[in-house]
Structure formats: structure tokens, C-alpha cells
A = this chain, B = another copy of it.
Amino acid sequence: MPTQILLVECDDRPGLVHRITGVLFERGCNVLVNSEFVDREAARFFMRTEYAGEASPRAVEASLRAVLPPEALLRFSEPRPRRIAVLCTREWHCLGDLLLRHAFGDLGAEIAVVLGNHPDLASLVERFEVPFLHVPDGGLSREAHEEAVGKALEPHRPEFLVLAKYMRVLTPGFLRIYPDRIVNIHHSFLPAFTGAHPYRQAFSRGVKIIGATAHLVTEILDEGPILAQDTIPVDHTWDAAAMARAGRDVERTVLARGLRLVFEDRVFLCGRRTVLFD
């Protein structure tokens, strides 16, 4: 029997779990994994269910609509590899990690294309038989470059964009093409050290721990909802370069963890916060 993922989000009220599981039961769907959460502050209900069943999502949706409030958000998806594009500049470690996982079926996604504003990583990408697009930004306005990027990506129809150390800020206009579907890795433990050169900032501040953050990209830089974070200890013998080197291992692991949550439809947004059914 095929497996479906069902996501439900609505204002909280009594009996929601009972009603939703009731519909699944009546439709002959067997719940495999079920998670729910009520955000008390927002009085908002979130539920993610994996179920096996022959009933079509359309039929299940119709039954759910009949028992849920009209404002309820419903989303159905199948557990299948997502189709993604990866954007990069010059740093190899996150991109390399994604290509490796992709090559061995461990990414939960198919990399349709890699796009760089610099050509440096073309040969790495080509080793893995993935197309590489070089869209240079030299002499272009931000908008003009983004338009070129958008056009280059379009024929590859990516569901998600992954910014794997893509060192360019995206405009709101571009973000609107992929709403809540762009994931970035920031090389600090946000909200510490937003902006450029976080390792340099961390060194200057003399912190004893550094980290990395995977987040969804929104209009305000480094302010997007957080998907995953991790930290490692450092000490006074580490200069900014040593921090950057060790940080690379944290970045790629955190990015992969954040992406898995997104690709497996485990993420809800609740204001600036994420509800992650991990």
C-alpha cells in the first residue's frame, strides 16, 4: 500500500486528533507515525501523519474538510526524493557533501542542477555527472543577475533551492518565486554573528564555542526560521582560519540535517519559529 504524508495546521480546539484519525480510520488508512503539537502561545495546532492506504489524497482531503474548521491548512505529499537546485560560490565543503550524499542515495533529493556565480566548482560538480551552470554576476545589478539565475534555473524546475555557501543576498522578488522553499546554511550560531565574516567576528569576540545554522530564507537576511543548529568548543589557540576549518564540518552536517527535515515534510512555520516533527 502506498504511503502518504499528511500535514494539518489550524487554530487549536478540542477533538482535532480524534476527528483526523477518525477520517483516516474510516478511509482504511493505517497510521504509521503520528505527531502533533499545540503551540500554546499561538493557540495553534500542528499535526503530521504518515499513513499507508489505498484512499486517494483527494478523497481523504474531502473527508477532512468536512470535520475541520474552514481555515485549516492541509498538505499531502508522498515520501519521494525532492527535485532541487544547489547554488554555490567558491566554497566546496557543503556542495561536495550534498553531491556525495546524492550519489549514494542518502540526500532525500535529486540534484537537478548546480548553479554558481563563480566557475570554481564546475569540475567538482561534473565529477558527479550533475549539470553545472555558471551565471557570472560581474557588471550586473543584483536584479539583473537574479533574473539571469531565475531563467537558468527555470528549465530544471526545482522544488527547492539550497544555498550551499552562496555568497549573495537574494531580493524579495526572487524569494517570492520559491516561498519557504529556499534553505541556507549560515556559518555561525544565529543570532550571534549575523552578516559577513562570522568566524572573524567570533575570533575577535573571543567566544569559546562556534556553530552553524540551517534556516529557511526570508526577506530579512539571517532572520529566517531556524531548521537546525549545532556548536563545537574552541579555545584561544584557534585563529579565525582554524575556526573556519572546523566550522566547515559543522556547517555541512547541520545543512544536511535541516534539508532532511524539509525534504521529508517535517517542518511547520509558527511565526518566526519552526515546529519540527523529527
Contacting pair B225 A206 (CB below 8 A)? yes
Given A37-B237, A191-B207, A208-B228, 14 further pairs, Cβ under 8 A: A17-B17, A18-B22, A18-B25, A41-B239, A92-B100, A93-B100, A103-B124, A189-B209, A191-B193, A205-B226, A205-B272, A206-B271, A207-B226, A231-B231
Number of copies: 4
Query: Is A245 part of the binding interface, using a Cβ–Cβ cutoff of 8 Å?
Result: yes
Query: Is A137 part of the binding interface, using a Cβ–Cβ cutoff of 8 Å?
Result: no
Contacting pair A96 B104 (CB below 8 A)? yes
User: Known: A21-B15, A104-B96, A189-B209. Contact between A204 and B272, CB under 8 A?
Assistant: yes
Contacting pair A104 B92 (CB below 8 A)? yes
Contacting pair B18 A30 (CB below 8 A)? no
Within 8 A of B (CB), among A151-210: 189-193, 203-209
SS class of chain A's interface: helix, strand, loop or mixed? Answer: mixed
Q: Determine the chain B residues whose CB is within 8 A of the CB of A25 once the complex forms.
A: 14-15, 18
Contacting pair B33 A38 (CB below 8 A)? yes
Closest-by-CB residue of B relative to A202 is B191
- What distance in Å separates the Cβ of A61 from its nearest Cβ neighbour in chain B? 18
Q: Determine the chain B residues whose CB is within 8 A of the CB of A128 once the complex forms.
A: 127
For the complex, give the distance between the alpha carbons of A15 and B21 in Å. 7
Contacting residue for A209 out of B31, B229, B271, B278, CB 8 A: B229
